[in-house]
Amino acid sequence: MAITIKDVAKKAGVSPATVSRVIADNPRISVKTKVKVRKVMEDMGYYPNFQARNLVANKSRTLGIIMENSAALAFQNPFFPEVLRGISTQAHDSKYGLYLSTGATQEEIYQEVVEMVQGRRVDGIVLLYSKIDDPVLEFLRKSELPFAVVGRPHQDPCSVTYVNNDNINTAKDTVEYLIGLGHRHIAFVGGATDFVVSIDRMQGYQQALAKHDIPFDVNYTVNQDFIQGKERDSIRRLMGLPVPPTAIVTHDDMVAYEVIGYLEDLEIRVPDDVSIIGFNNHTISRYLKPPLSTVDISIYELGLRAAELVLEKITDASIPPKQVAVPSRLIERGSCRRL
């Protein structure tokens, strides 16, 4: 026979209402009473029916997680499992579950978000990317559902709750690190130009060059959306310039791995012939030969803080939009050398 809340109350010597408040972690109930009731629940094998409770409270106790493309593709990039680890830690502490988007196209993802919001499938959403003219972000702005963005929104960022690295200054500092090693011919292999992080890092790259009176040369830049399917040829063209770069900054470590592979095919050695540095500090980067110099952007903390901001907004809808900066740090390894 199923154990009921009344059975627990009788065994613990409290009212059913008190048991209900303990389950809800009501601050009005003393710690001593909570410990006693939870011990009885455990001994009796009683598990609260959260689904029924959530229906009554009109809450799903679930956070929606929206990725930039299908889960199958997203999980090929170590950024997403790590940011999800941060989100799930915070969600677990607040007894929330996660609902991952599974759409394979931009249209499918948009429709999925609409259904999440209108069907009240989730209490809040974390958007794991920031793009220019993103219909998903525009829909969320107009909805009343609490949400946070990982990344700086392109337009009117102060009206949105988001968590971000200072990508402009971080990229600027990274290029200046290479300039400090004596490099003046520095290439930039960036991400897709409709993502705000790509725009910001390119801006930081250009600012560093300008600060040190190094002319910006578009031939030293490669962007992912212009080279789809032609990555190898793009690196061959870059290294075949009359004055090839002596250092390359890549959009992230994943891009750096690809570039290093193409350089090996061209019999160009890292760092003897060209230095290379990435972003994100994925675990595998330290095991490359040579180990990859990179920028640690605190991915776990990005996820943790984003979930924290959404949960805060779910608890109190009157909280104004917040913008949280998460620190980055340069990690020097073996892929860069002084000229």
Boundaries of every domain in the chain:
1-32, 62-165+300-327, 167-296
Residue 148 has phi, psi (to 5 degrees) of: -140, 150
Q: Name which residue leads in pLDDT, 49 or 138.
A: 138
Instruction: Dump pLDDT digits (tens) for 243-296.
Output: 999 999 999 999 999 999 999 999 999 999 999 999 999 999 999 999 999 999
Q: Distance (Å, rounded) from C-alpha 283 to C-alpha 286?
A: 6
Which positions ≥6 away from 338 have C-beta within 8 Å? 181, 182
Can you give the length of the chain in residues? 339
Instruction: Dump pLDDT digits (tens) for 107-158.
Output: 999 999 999 998 888 999 999 999 999 999 999 999 989 999 999 999 999 9
pLDDT of residue 238: 95
Mean pLDDT of the chain: 91
Output the six-digit token pair for 134: 């993103």
Whether 62-165+300-327 shares its CATH topology with 167-296 is answered yes
Beta-carbon neighbour count of residue 212 at 10 Å?
Answer: 13
Task: Report which secondary-structure segment, H or E, holds 265.
Answer: helix 253-265
What CATH number does domain 62-165+300-327 carry, 3.30.830.10, 2.40.50.140, 3.40.50.2300, 3.40.50.720?
3.40.50.2300
With tokens 């948009």, the residue in question is: 110
Task: Report which secondary-structure segment, H or E, holds 278.
Answer: strand 275-279
Q: What CATH architecture does domain 167-296 belong to?
A: 3-Layer(aba) Sandwich (3.40)
Confidence (pTM): 0.82
